[in-house]
Structure 1
Amino acid sequence: MPLAKLALEDGTIYCGESFGAVGEVTGEVVFNTSMTGYQEILTDPSYRGQIITMTYPEIGNYGINDEDVEHSVPALSGFLVRQLSRIHSNYRSNTDLDSYLKKHNVIGLSGLDTRALVKHIRDAGAMRGVLSTEDLDDASLVAKAKAAPSLVGRDIVQEVMCKATTTWDERLDAWTETQIGSAVDSGNGAHVVCMDFGMKWNIPRHFASRGYRVTIVPGNTSAADIMKLNPDGVFLSNGPGDPEPLDYAIKTIAELLGKTPIFGICLGHQLLSLACGAKTFKLKFGHRGANQPVQDLTTKKVEITTQNHGFAVDADSMPDDLEITHLNLNDNTVAGVRHKKHPAFSVQYHPEAAAGPHDSHYLFERFQDLLSAAATS
């Protein structure tokens, strides 16, 4: 395999072997602590603008299949692994990781010391980097890393959200680019409108499996247009980057409060908090992995969660109408909130668990309770 290099903005250089696509990309260099689930990580739109480092040493051993993708194409900038498995073995696999990255033009780098890189990020914080198979000059690469755009203050949600109102068809297991009409009135169950800020597909899969009718709208849809769809509840999805530049989403959520039950995760959690008057801040290196411990302050139970975010809600900025319901036990950051007056709550993690543990599925039941209460009021 040809030589490739990763350069960080602080001048640190890592060498390795290229796999996947060739070329050059920039992005924020972060790490994920999951032992499995690399396919779901690759296709999670929340990784837009980031170069992902996997902490588990061998990646690619079970290949890639058609069922476990979380979006139609990968959104990340680059993929870093300690060792790329030379074989893939799983009865569901239909291609290997190297071929998959080539197909979707994603640059991979193997053979680097990922443990050293992760320790460096934990000490120095997530930083901008450049991954290249073309330019191998250290000084040139460091200059490019320093010039790369930061995620702070940028709206990258509009790069990954759906472009039109769509229906989720579990039989197709994909977005159907059909304008909503009479189709929204078909089927049974509660009607959930999902605001797509870069949503993973397992979320509408999860709602559909519970008998809900699911409509997906772009994240910049107005509150008036959402209410025209007659939702029984609104879901605020995950997504990439900094929540504060998303003024349009914050405005919409603020206008929806009190009109319909709301359930948010990850970026949706941050946006709900901002809409209620809280503030957010950038974490030093973020929380990314399928092994993050969270305590539900309501039940005192601890759940192991799947997380992927680089920003968090500031506990000291919590408005009177919002209460903290969950805490991340690694650093005591806010992991969940609930509105005291309106039927709205959110968590800073992925209860749909793709990939990851199923400890947090109870949150869908809490949302169902809000829908049922609203329907009878």
Structure 2
Amino acid sequence: MFTIPESVRPIRDRVSRFIDDHLIPVELELGHGGPPARTLLKEIEEKAKAEGLYAIGHPAHLGGGGLSMLDYAYVNEVIGRCEPAQQALGTVSLQTVVMLDPVATEEQRERWVRPATMGELRIAFAVTEPGVASADPTGLRTTARLEGDEWVLNGRKWFISAADRAAVTIVMAKTDPDAPPHRQFSMILVPTGTPGYTVGEELQVMGLRSVLSGHYEVELDNVRVPKENLIGGRGDGFVLAQQRLGPGRIYHCMRWLGVAQRAFDYLCARANERLLGGAPLGDKQFVQEWIFDSYHQIAANRYLVLDAAAKVDRGEQARVELSAIKVSCAKMVNEVLDRAMQVHGAEGLTDRLPLELMFREARYGRIVDGPDEAHKQRVARTILRSYREGDGWDFGARGE
């Protein structure tokens, strides 16, 4: 089960070779960011487009490759081996495009969604706010008031990826304060050149200034946009957020499998090559345990991710599975990376190896798209409710 399909293997192999040839040799330069790195990454992105390797997981009717969730999982785990590959191969826009495509108007689709798919522009996504717990977004304070034919937005957002170079930002704002909490919010498209829209300083996260995106504060001061910039229906903000976050979580997990695979390669190579007291490190029981634990975690999580992808392809919401893999994969990749760094000793902490950069990027996985604690609660509550309603939780049936 979950053998790589023959129909997917050729594109997977091509993506792997492209990353090995064009991205891994310069990943440290790209990972530490700066204008020269962005120029270099753009050049690699154009090569990917020329080779037909760009946006292969995006919907075909938008110009993407149209791979199913499960088929894309086999490719995305290869993309995950090198963080800048997300940008170079177009993965970075996928979850936003998947959210927008079903609900966008034809004008929104042609102006924003299709160009984002093809890498012609970036769409930023602004939900989180300073001073507001992201685990309970009903507390968001940014407002949007309808005045005639315009929305007027006021508020502050932060950790907004690529805000410095996005063409448009999707803003989650309170539009209906008297509605039930989860119907108070809507999403509105705000072109970034609109008066009153200001991008602040970049937030340095885990010592990184990412060439991939960068994270910024954004201020909205009486920003006016046409009422037609509403996405979907009024009050649909939380519904749309889940349509973005659900796929986003599994895309993260797919890539973390690739990160873990590469860290595992480093771990095992070091265990065989490094001598201690005249014998390989791999002869030591501690190191053997690290290899066993890493193998076990990667294999188990890979099955869980592919199983969740198959469920999504069947039209299931798979909320329990998506939350579970988000927690489990984030924990797994951090632990496998930690072991790979440890077996390399002091060298593992330096930029002579990619491990320390990969480790810093992996750490925020336990927070991005929902902290571990929120997902654990969601899984437990869903399962307990199923038992209260008399259905229980049959793992055999869930695996069908």
Structure ranking higher in strand proportion: 1
| TM-score w.r.t. length of structure 2 | 0.25
TM-score, normalised relative to structure 1 = 0.26
